[in-house]
Amino acid sequence: MRQDWLQFFQRIDWNSPVTLALTSAAVGSAITLTWLSLRDAGDRKRKRRDTALEVALSLESYARTCRTMMHKAAWAAAQHGSPSGRDASRSVVMPTFAYPDKLHWHVMSGKVISELREYPATVHGAREYLEAFREFGEPLDLCGQVEYECAKAAMAALALARATRRRHGAASWRPGAKDSALERELSDFIANAEEKRKASLDHRAELALDRRGDAQAFKHALSA
């Protein structure tokens, strides 16, 4: 088969007008296809970058909204014991989150889409947990829990926004003076809250041991 093709090309008159026209058309088509391919790749890259920027902006905006709710929760906790304390705690709720409508999700990879779409589900799960906590917990404890969950959600939103910008070549986030220390504030708050939680659990464990020891001593006294 290869020999037949070689003989065929050898018999072609490459200087004939028809051959020259066909060759020119083939070269022109190849150039056109290459140009179209490069243009489509450029358009796709630009759409991916623009979509990533929209996603990052929505995540960063949500982080700021969570920070505002944290302040509101702290204020409501400070009202505990006052006549307006219970009413103040009713307005303390973790904000909802949703990406902007009509995003060009198709220009992103499946892995990136999966990671981005897991975040709203995580927020939804935290909101459901807090609503259950509201039903059975004390208002003061609820305010602290909302503050903690909002801090974690805000921190995760900023991390996801940063990764999205980096992966798709979008400009880095340049927070204003009001938000310049946002990430550090969230990190410090989470660290302090977790330290307090650990101390509280250790204290409860010590109380449980003390009560168990007292109960055993009482039984020994009765049996003596």
Higher model confidence: residue 34 or residue 135? Answer: 135
Residue 222 has pLDDT above 80, yes or no: no
Q: In this structure, is residue 14 part of a structural domain?
A: no
pLDDT band at 178 (very low <50, low <70, confident <90, very high): confident
Give domain status of residue 208, yes or no. no
The listed range with the strongest mean pLDDT (18-27, 70-79, 190-199) is 70-79
Among 161, 154, 151, 148, which Cα is nearest to 115's? 161
State the residue range of the domain holding 165: 24-194
Give the model's pLDDT for residue 71. 92
Residue 90 domain flag: yes
Provide the token pair at 221. Answer: 């006294």
User: pTM of the full predicted structure?
Assistant: 0.71
Q: What is the pLDDT of residue 195?
A: 85
CA dist., res. 92 & res. 81, Å (int): 16
Model confidence at 1: pLDDT above 70: no
Residue that wins the pLDDT comparison between 41 and 46: 46
Q: Is residue 171 part of a domain?
A: yes
Task: Inform me whether the pLDDT recorded for 166 exceeds 70.
Answer: yes
Number of structural domains in the chain: 1
Q: Is residue 212 part of a domain?
A: no
Distance between CA atoms of 46 and 114, rounded to whole angstroms?
21
Closest among 129, 130, 128, 154 to 142, alpha carbons compared: 130
Please give the backbone phi and psi of residue 180, each rounded to the nearest 5 degrees, phi first: -65, -30
Q: What is the pLDDT of residues 42-56, one digit of tens each?
A: 566 788 888 889 999
Look at residue 128 and tell me if it is in a domain.
Answer: yes
- 208 has pLDDT over 60: no
Per-residue pLDDT band for 109 (boundaries 50, 70, 90) equals: confident
Does pLDDT of 148 surpass 60?
A: yes
State mean pLDDT over 134-140.
83
Q: How far apart are CA 60 and CA 208, in angstroms?
A: 43
Question: Stretch 116-139: mean pLDDT, rounded?
Answer: 90
φ/ψ region of 82 (left if φ > 0, alpha if ψ in -120 to 50, else beta) reads beta
Q: Alpha-carbon distance 92 to 144, whole Å?
A: 10
Amino acid at 124: H
Question: Per the domain annotation, does 224 fall within a domain?
Answer: no
Predicted local confidence at residue 213, as pLDDT: 56
